[in-house]
Amino acid sequence: MNTGKTLFAQVMDFLPWKTFHRVVARYGGNHRVRTLPCSDHFRILAFAQLTYRESLRDIEACLTAQAGKLYHMGIRRPVKRATLADANERRDWRMYAEFGQKLIAQARPLYAGDEWAGELSNTVYALDSTTIDLCLSLYPWAPFRSAKAAVKMHTLLDLRGNIPEFIHVSDGKMHDVNVLDRMRPEPGAIYVMDRAYLDFGRLFTLHGWGAFFVTRAKSNTRLRRLYSAPHDRAQGIICDQTVVLEGPRSSRRYPHPLRRIRFKEPRTGKPLVFLTNLLGPSPTVICELYQARWQVELFFKWIKQHLRIKKFYGTSENAVKSQIWTAVSVYVLVAIIRKRLDLEVSLHTLLQIFSVTLFEKIVLNQDFLKPEYTCHRNRHANQLNLFDYLTGH
């Protein structure tokens, strides 16, 4: 039997704790803290994400039942619900946000060599947001509708490895296009967005940084054709044109030519109009780029199903954002473990295994998922055969 560390402690060892303590010191996170330092607080929130705990009472009951193993998990003292609730309210969420960004910076180089479905060598990002509904009476700081509250999670997803490069958490009223002001464009990268991000002034800023974009045109976008390129209608390409904006305001905000591609969706027959500043690739590549935007939708669906970001352990803005950033950190941590140990399983499978083995003292390595024992039939076993016993042989 393995008498080493628990699996949870081994998972936590993949975290850059020196970086974590530097971030905590920068925000004064442990100032006048006696019973629950920020490192223990983060471990507990990470444990809650990995084991699908629903509430503070649930966390307390689960850890109390394993009190003898808390020290081996890196948690120094028994966990009290009131202490944990107080930490969620008072510990600055920006600590966990900055630490999450540090983990993302570690994870992205690990997946830089992965290939995505497209043929371009550029880094491709999908930008979108997801809305998490809340109760207005409990979360009045996050207004969304007249009788509804919500927070938005704006995410820029790197399609190589599906690692989020940028995340911004806001209230439900923040329009998606405003998040472009908070991003620093990467020269040479391709940003794939839907029509909610169609703002020609902001798109021209991307163009000025040497970045590329692919988005959809709105029905009222006024464009004038300059040139029509040859295209293949058999592939669903209705037109491939070089255009300029005609509206006085939009043409002033984006004075350069754009490329318009009209594509007929084969399943529904619906025409889609794409706008891009990518002039070189074929029109089918542009259509594939926009289709790849669906990966960010799958990312949102995945984290909502497998992490705890729909039910929160506190009602304050600080508690909600701390929990969201802890969930993001756990997602990225599992992705780092999967790549560093070269585990050929999905993140979903890895999370499911972690959820039932965190208290076990088994070695986390490349052989972690291989069965230790194989059942073989043995003709010379001492166990009696039931049918031989009944027949008297």
Indicate whether 228 belongs to any domain.
yes
What lies within 8 Å, CB to CB, of 90 at 6+ separation is: 318
Indicate whether 162 belongs to any domain.
no
Q: Which residues pair with 206 in a beta bridge?
A: none
For 50, 56, 58, 81, 274, the CA distances from 313, given in Å and listed in that order, are: 15, 6, 10, 10, 42
pLDDT tens per residue across span 4-42: 788 999 999 999 999 999 999 999 999 988 889 999 999
Q: How confident is the model at residue 3 (pLDDT cuts 50, 70, 90)?
A: low
pLDDT at site 43: 94
Indicate whether 192 belongs to any domain.
no
**Phi–psi pair at 273, nearest 5 degrees:** -115, 120
Predicted TM-score (pTM) of the model is: 0.86
Indicate whether 296 belongs to any domain.
no
Indicate whether 368 belongs to any domain.
no
pLDDT tens per residue across span 58-73: 999 999 888 888 888 8
Range of the domain at 269: 198-288
Q: How many domains does the chain have?
A: 1
pLDDT at site 73: 82
Does residue 378 surpass a pLDDT of 50?
Answer: no
Indicate whether 221 belongs to any domain.
yes
Read off the pLDDT of each residue in 275-296 and give the average, rounded to a whole number.
91
Indicate whether 317 belongs to any domain.
no
Indicate whether 209 belongs to any domain.
yes
Does residue 196 surpass a pLDDT of 50?
Answer: yes
